[in-house]
Chains A and B, each alone.
Chain A
Amino acid sequence: MASRTILEAMKNKRSFLFPSSPRFSIFSTRLGSTLVVAEHDGGAIRAPSLSALTATTCLPDSGSSVSLLLAGSGPSLHQAASHAASCHPSISQVLVADSDTFKSPLAEPWAKLVHMVQQRGGYSHIIAASSSFGKNVMPRAAALLDVSPVTDVTGISDSHTFVRPIYAGNALCTVRYTGAGPCILTIRATSFPAPQKSVDSKSNEASISQVDLSTFDEDLGKSRYISQTTQEDERPDLGNARIVVSGGRALKNAENFKLIENLAEKLGAAVGATRAAVDAGFVPNELQVGQTGKIVAPELYMAFGVSGAIQHIAGMRDSKVIVAVNNDADAPIFQVADYGLVGDLFEVIPELLEKLPEKK
């Protein structure tokens, strides 16, 4: 079964791309080729997927051939495909699945698509970002392929050995994949920084090919996408902002939380929150930082009125500089803060607003 997949793969493109490479032995599934399952938005690859591309370069023998899978429909898909073709030097091929089925990120058709593309391509690794999309789709695809996925990878030791945080980041687990099937990873975007602005060199352009969907047989009726509500704002995206200003329960209400927003605006920062602040309705859920919310690692993380529960620290402990302002000198947040200020945030924030330099 496995070797048939490989033979098919060899019949496809890779054997002619690398005709004499000894790595393509039919006795091994270690083809050293990687499939990146990418998300796109507004005609471009999303930042976490670019981080997944960075992760492929950490795989010792898989950097040689990276295929990027994009799906969706309409002009924005094809715009994203041409963005993908030139966005990273390691991409050798862009696979485009064009169908209304993939217009919304439903797990059922997407997992089936990943499964089908894997059956045809025989990749050694399949990687996606550990975003809500990746977490939803990849384990389902892994089950279809009968392999154990490795989620939220923060480090790559070798092609089958990975580091991932467990117990809310209070331990790091090094795990080795020993299975015969493809190695499925979702990576933590903050651990694999996306490359800076892409160099648009035509010489580097990867080929774009359409995924043949004629045999795609997902039973489509089982799930339907209804709607999405998104809080629109001008602030930078929480996941990859350079500065994050976050607030906790001590803000007391949504009105007071505006102080955090004002400070964020002044610093050009994203706004984060603790679970307590979200549960109390001060801010929407997508701003939650922590074990069950977003993981951030900005250059500067400023926590106001945040006690520093294990579950919150899990989401921000890798920030470069942590500032904590809290009126309780014993709050656990001070144990991880580089700079602590014991004081009333209702006095400190206005003073900061007054004294901070204007952002450039």
Chain B
Amino acid sequence: MKIMVAIKRVVDYAVKIRVKPDKTGVVTQNVKMSMNPFCEIALEEALRIRESGLASEVVAVSMGPAQSVDTLRTGLAMGADRGIHVEANGSLYPLSVAKILKKLVEIEKPGLLILGKQAIDDDCNQTGQMTAGLLNWPQGTFASKVVLDKEKQVVTVDREVDDGIETVSLNLPAVITTDLRLNQPRYATLPNIMKAKSKPIKKYTPEELNVEIKSDLEIVQVTEPPKRKAGVVLSSVDELIDKLKHEARVI
């Protein structure tokens, strides 16, 4: 069985982002970019499944500008067997990404598609669900545990939901989106980074895949959130209780 993993290049999670003065977006030039943390977890899970002998190949795919190839190389260095890059400039919303993924799934025919539960830039949390809908595959979102039964062609997924953990069982092929607690992604070692340079990355354009990138959303503006007014540092518990009682009136 083949596993496909979708990965996204985003502003590094530790960067304090700045909103552009013209309110068209967030400054991304000369800002450190990395693989979306949830995508790293998705890839790690795919690699572990392959290493346990339940999958034969892990294909990493990414959509976006030319630099997405760097992110794919990171994925290849972690251990993915090969990459696919769909070069698309301009804004790619989850619906377009889901349509591209659907086409790639039709070409590659993986038994499992794993994605992160959300990208930390747009915070959408949609792509996995949308792709599953378009493919008419079952979905196991916000996964914190994945158990594959190759014999029965079933995957059991523990999902992090609002009231705890929910367990579902899905027939393969299926879509899984990963939560933070699924695993601890590995670091790429130097030899593997070197090896990754010779791994193949196939390129497509949305036209070649016959996907029209159109959008039914337009960004009107991006602004800074309202600032909180400066707080005060208190010196004792008594003072804190007094403030909460008489100034903030919350207890």
A interface, CB within 8 angstroms of B: 105-108, 111, 131-133, 135-144, 146-152, 161, 164-181, 219, 221-231, 239, 243, 267, 275, 278-279, 284-286, 291-292, 294, 299-300, 310-311, 317, 320-323, 329, 334, 336-342, 348, 351-352, 355-357
B137-162 toward A: CB 8 Å interface, digit per residue (1/0)? 11111101000000000001001111
B198 sits at the interface (CB 8 A): no
Q: Which residues of B contact A181 (CB under 8 A)?
A: 216
Decide: B237 and A140 in contact? CB cutoff 8 A: no
Decide: B11 and A286 in contact? CB cutoff 8 A: no
Q: Which residues of B contact A170 (CB under 8 A)?
A: 16-17, 224-225
Decide: A166 and B167 in contact? CB cutoff 8 A: no
Q: Which residues of A contact B11 (CB under 8 A)?
A: 167
A sample of 24 inter-chain contacts (CB < 8 A) reads A136-B129, A140-B133, A143-B129, A148-B93, A148-B95, A151-B126, A168-B123, A173-B219, A175-B220, A178-B215, A223-B139, A225-B168, A230-B164, A243-B250, A278-B181, A311-B13, A320-B248, A320-B250, A334-B233, A336-B231, A339-B244, A340-B234, A355-B237, A356-B251
B94 sits at the interface (CB 8 A): yes
Given the known inter-chain contacts A107-B141, A148-B93, A341-B237, please indicate yes or no for A140 contacting B168, CB distance below 8 A: no
Decide: A227 and B133 in contact? CB cutoff 8 A: no
Given the known inter-chain contacts A170-B225, A171-B224, A223-B168, please indicate yes or no for A337 contacting B130, CB distance below 8 A: no
Stretch at the interface among B50-58, B104-112, B114-122: B114-122
Question: Which residue in chain B gives the minimum CB-CB distance to A46?
Answer: B162
Q: Which residues of B contact A284 (CB under 8 A)?
A: 164
Q: Which residues of B contact A311 (CB under 8 A)?
A: 13
B40 sits at the interface (CB 8 A): no
Question: Which residue in chain B gives the minimum CB-CB distance to A161?
Answer: B220
Given the known inter-chain contacts A132-B160, A171-B19, A225-B168, please indicate yes or no for A323 contacting B251, CB distance below 8 A: no
Decide: B232 and A338 in contact? CB cutoff 8 A: yes
Shortest CB distance A138–B (Å): 8
Question: Which residue in chain A gives the minimum CB-CB distance to B179?
Answer: A292
Q: A120 vs B33: C-alpha distance in the bound complex, in angstroms?
A: 45
Q: A341 vs B237: C-alpha distance in the bound complex, in angstroms?
A: 8
Shortest CB distance B25–A (Å): 8
Given the known inter-chain contacts A136-B141, A143-B133, A166-B222, please indicate yes or no for A222 contacting B170, CB distance below 8 A: yes
Shortest CB distance A232–B (Å): 10
Given the known inter-chain contacts A142-B95, A292-B180, A339-B234, please indicate yes or no for A178 contacting B129, CB distance below 8 A: no
Q: Which residues of A contact B77 (CB under 8 A)?
A: none
Q: Which residues of A contact B138 (CB under 8 A)?
A: 107-108, 222-223
Decide: A223 and B217 in contact? CB cutoff 8 A: no
Q: Is the interface of B mostly helix, strand, loop or mixed?
A: mixed
CB-based closest 8 A-B pairs: A179-B216, A143-B133, A139-B129, A143-B130, A139-B126, A223-B138, A140-B133, A226-B167
- Contact-residue bracket for chain B: 35 or more
Q: Which residues of B contact A165 (CB under 8 A)?
A: 123, 225
Decide: A131 and B162 in contact? CB cutoff 8 A: yes
Within 8 A of A (CB), among B32-48: none
Decide: A139 and B94 in contact? CB cutoff 8 A: yes
Q: A291 vs B222: C-alpha distance in the bound complex, in angstroms?
A: 19
Question: Which residue in chain A gives the minimum CB-CB distance to B165?
Answer: A229
B228 sits at the interface (CB 8 A): yes
Given the known inter-chain contacts A339-B244, A355-B238, A356-B241, please indicate yes or no for A224 contacting B169, CB distance below 8 A: yes
Decide: A355 and B241 in contact? CB cutoff 8 A: yes
Given the known inter-chain contacts A148-B93, A223-B171, please indicate yes or no for A172 contacting B225, CB distance below 8 A: yes
Q: Which of B125, B142, B162 has the most CB of A within 10 A?
A: B162
Q: A169 vs B224: C-alpha distance in the bound complex, in angstroms?
A: 9
Decide: B169 and A321 in contact? CB cutoff 8 A: no
B74 sits at the interface (CB 8 A): no
Shortest CB distance A12–B (Å): 25
Q: Which of B14, B117, B161, B218 has the most CB of A within 10 A?
A: B161
Q: A29 vs B170: C-alpha distance in the bound complex, in angstroms?
A: 37
Shortest CB distance B111–A (Å): 14
Decide: A174 and B170 in contact? CB cutoff 8 A: no
Decide: B170 and A172 in contact? CB cutoff 8 A: no
**Other-chain contact of A338, B125, B169, B221, B231 (Cβ < 8 Å):** B231
